[in-house]
A and B are shown apart, each in its own frame.
Chain A
């Protein structure tokens, strides 16, 4: 039985409206209106459930003003799952009002169907010059025309060749001590292939054989959090089938959002499915973030070369509050000789990206990002390391807007650089 929107009333009434979420909600910090903080959203949802309110444009807008960063969830004294409530509201909106035509096209046709996505992205990488112009100093690209995306938005260009087309399905190593499947996620596959390459190189060096299942899809999170559960379920099932086929010791991800989908959210999404409920749990138990896997590998810290750089780290929301990965990336960064690590203020506050949030609410997402940029600047770091491609793109955009010369990279890339530094010194 599919959970009804009304059944969420049980969760909604657990909010005692204490207001503690005001302290942590990044959206509220900028907008200050009571309707833009978690307890306001919860109250609005309750209003729709009890029929005080209808699903109006106003309600839809308020529900879109959530980054899904989970800061309120971990801070809530009553443990109200605000993220699940907002998602349930978006699902209700999608069911009652339908998705916008653009979202429908993207979710139902493109993200769900790997071949459409692939050919679209391939065409996109050739044609993107028509739609986008180069960003300042040749970095990134800016939209030339209105696409429903703010024209000032610096986007990373699509890679000329997707990550998965660059590698064979299995990357063998002699005497492999472990065999893992790499769930790449879309951004690594189509944009940040350098992160994917670093993941492979680091694991290879540590004697881990990596399988990259060719038939993997988008994890489905962008679709699910926008309320399209039908498409999300199909994508989850497809990924589960693909991943369960592999004979591996674990599944590695380099993106907190994909990781959380695989580890927990598939099981929630499919809990009533007679066949897939169990399979989803099976998959979930196998998922590890790249950094979790690396620190579990004996001797990973040997043979690291000297990197005399100042580094700080940003905690992606879904990595730190979703997969609860906080110590591992820091452990990796700090064991690299020469690296001076400085913790930034509010390292686990959302960077303002929120996936599609930054496209729909660009102005607001840049304001949220400004605090992140200021905190990064204050550390004096030359490199910002993070564990999520969406954060990477959004923070790079912010640094670019404010002309701050800090490089942004994934933890895997820093580690790859450190290994390569030994090679050079020999």
Chain B
């Protein structure tokens, strides 16, 4: 990076909020994804931490003028390679803009700056009896801006939808440095194109999000949790389909396969039968009076489809115990192999049984351990590949297996990514789902907003 650019950036954000040393910049060559950056080619020129929208606008104006790539970044917790540095670029970290600006109980909305931690917003709104449902696994540390840019999901997606369903307005800085507001504070709003929805999930390629207006809903009064154990994974998958078809909508419907069950039991001793084929963890929420009835109906379906064991939590502590199994899932499998790749392919809910079978076949074909954990209620399967990145021969098989998982997913009418995003990790597969023309249209939108292609180049459209 040219010294005069560093100088100008320093004038914009101040001495304390700019990083240029090798050691500092090395730490922006990764995010939570598997995409590898190379220190020689990918090291950023500078990382800046602006404090407000005006500073962001000045930085983008400068970058656009000088045609310097800009990589926007929140907590760097995305899993698709959307925030890693790409050579002599500006890494634009938005974590300092972290205030909850408004919590409007009369209009059921919250207005937040982009760097607010999602979990923090959730606990603030829950304190006044409101609810912001999207719950990505990273909620305790990921930022709202990042969640909007990636359109994050989570277990509650089955009932409550994803980030997109809650964002009603944005303040964004365009790559050319102008600030615009989209959407607004009303539920109904059809003035012009729906730019809010376009920017949600745009992965930092169209704009830098600086403020977010989200709608809130009343906090459900109570929850009830149960766990059903099946000897065959097909039975569990059928159960998921039956529950949904029966008009019951749990707020979480999580599937764990035998590999997970065995490892969780070994690691956390939560009383799971290690020979079981699958476990479903089911939670319903709503008015306290209706929960028992819902759970009873779900229990009936589970039994009919061959559940060998059903545990219904009677107290909060018991529910916590059931969730402990799910929460320790990751730590449990990470003991098996050093490298864990969490895939994100998503299929229509009715295709879950067949998708699971096909993934298991792929695992056998390439002689890999692929565990399945899924937000089964919304078809979002997380095929988890347990491998060792230092083993290059295995890495090649992993790559082939992932490729085949994508083919299967698309065959079944699904999506390459349910909630993780395309980023740099899956950009080479994007046309398989949206087609050449589909990509071309998206590219034209990109160029209309970002004529010099400075914002997060490489993400979605490939290098």
Contacts and interface: CB of A to CB of B under 8 A. Distances in A.
A57 to B, nearest CB: 9
Contacts of A39: 30
B81 to A, nearest CB: 11
A275 interface: no
A34 B94 CA distance: 12
Contacts of A34: 24, 27-28, 47, 76, 93
Nearest to B333: A78
A151 B422 CA distance: 53
B330 interface: yes
B49 interface: yes
B10 interface: no
Interface in B295-345: 330-331, 334-335, 338-340
A300 B31 CA distance: 52
Contacts of A77: 330-331, 334
Given A52-B39, A53-B22, A32 B49 contact: yes
Contact of B138 (A9, A18, A43, A58): A18
A43 B27 contact: yes
A56 B22 contact: yes
B76 A19 contact: yes
A18 B77 CA distance: 6
Interface in B67-93: 75-77, 93
Interface residues of A, number: 30
Contact of A16 (B39, B75, B334): B334
Contacts of A47: 26, 39
B140 A20 contact: yes
A43 B330 CA distance: 20
B429 interface: no
A282 B335 CA distance: 29
Contacts of B75: 19, 22
Contact of A13 (B26, B29, B338): B338
Contacts of B232: none
Interface residues on B, range: 35 or more
Please indicate which of the listed interface residues A10, A40, A61 has the most CB atoms of chain B within 10 Å of its own CB. A40
Contacts of A53: 22-23, 26, 39
A34 to B, nearest CB: 4
B38 to A, nearest CB: 9
Contacts of A16: 32, 334, 339-340
Interface string A3-14: 000000110011
B35 to A, nearest CB: 11
Contact of A58 (B23, B29, B93, B96): B23
Contacts of B390: 9, 13
A14 B26 contact: no
Contact of A19 (B21, B26, B29, B138): B138
Given A77-B334, A79-B334, A17 B31 contact: yes
Interface in A175-232: none
Given A13-B339, A19-B32, A33-B27, A58 B22 contact: yes
B224 interface: no
A9 B390 CA distance: 10
B226 to A, nearest CB: 25
A44 B96 contact: no
Contacts of B28: 34
Contacts of B19: 33, 35
A33 B24 contact: yes
B39 A23 contact: no
A178 to B, nearest CB: 33
Interface string B46-63: 010100000000000000
A18 B33 CA distance: 8
A218 to B, nearest CB: 32
A58 B334 contact: no
A18 B27 contact: no
Please indicate which of the listed interface residues B22, B39, B331 has the most CB atoms of chain A within 10 Å of its own CB. B22
A59 B25 CA distance: 12
Contact of B26 (A9, A20, A44, A79): A44
Nearest to A60: B23
A40 B27 contact: yes
Nearest to A32: B95
A9 B388 CA distance: 12
A201 B340 CA distance: 54
Contact of A62 (B23, B96, B117, B330): B23
Interface in A215-258: none
B331 A79 contact: yes
Given A23-B140, A78-B334, A35 B339 contact: no
Contacts of A13: 338-339, 389-390
Contacts of A43: 26-27, 29-30
B334 A44 contact: no
B3 to A, nearest CB: 19
Contacts of B47: 33-34
A301 to B, nearest CB: 27
Nearest to B30: A17
B113 to A, nearest CB: 15
Nearest to A18: B32
A46 to B, nearest CB: 10
A59 B23 contact: yes
A23 B141 contact: yes
A35 B28 CA distance: 8
Please indicate which of the listed interface residues B21, B28, B96 has the most CB atoms of chain A within 10 Å of its own CB. B21
B142 interface: yes
B77 A19 contact: yes
B21 A58 contact: yes
B42 to A, nearest CB: 11
A77 B49 CA distance: 28
A35 B24 contact: yes
A355 B294 CA distance: 55
Contacts of B331: 77-79
Interface string B285-301: 00000000000000000
Contacts of A40: 27
A78 B330 contact: yes
Please indicate which of the listed interface residues B26, B31, B77, B335 has the most CB atoms of chain A within 10 Å of its own CB. B26
A396 B29 CA distance: 41
B24 A14 contact: no
Interface string A111-140: 000000000000000000000000000000
A241 to B, nearest CB: 37
B185 to A, nearest CB: 30
Given A17-B32, A19-B75, A22-B75, A35 B27 contact: yes
A408 B440 CA distance: 67
Interface string A75-88: 00111000000000
A23 B138 CA distance: 10
Contacts of B93: 32, 34
16 contacts: A14-B338, A16-B340, A17-B31, A18-B77, A19-B77, A32-B96, A34-B76, A35-B23, A35-B27, A44-B23, A53-B26, A77-B334, A78-B330, A78-B331, A79-B334, A79-B335
Interface of A: 9-10, 13-14, 16-20, 22-23, 32-35, 39-40, 43-44, 47, 52-53, 56, 58-59, 61-62, 77-79
A-B CB proximity, top 8 nearest? A34-B27, A19-B77, A58-B23, A40-B27, A78-B334, A35-B27, A23-B141, A22-B141
Interface of B: 19, 21-24, 26-32, 39, 47, 49, 75-77, 93, 95-96, 117, 138, 140-142, 330-331, 334-335, 338-340, 389-390
Given A20-B141, A33-B19, 11 more contacts: A19-B142, A23-B117, A32-B49, A33-B24, A33-B47, A34-B28, A44-B23, A53-B22, A58-B23, A59-B23, A79-B331
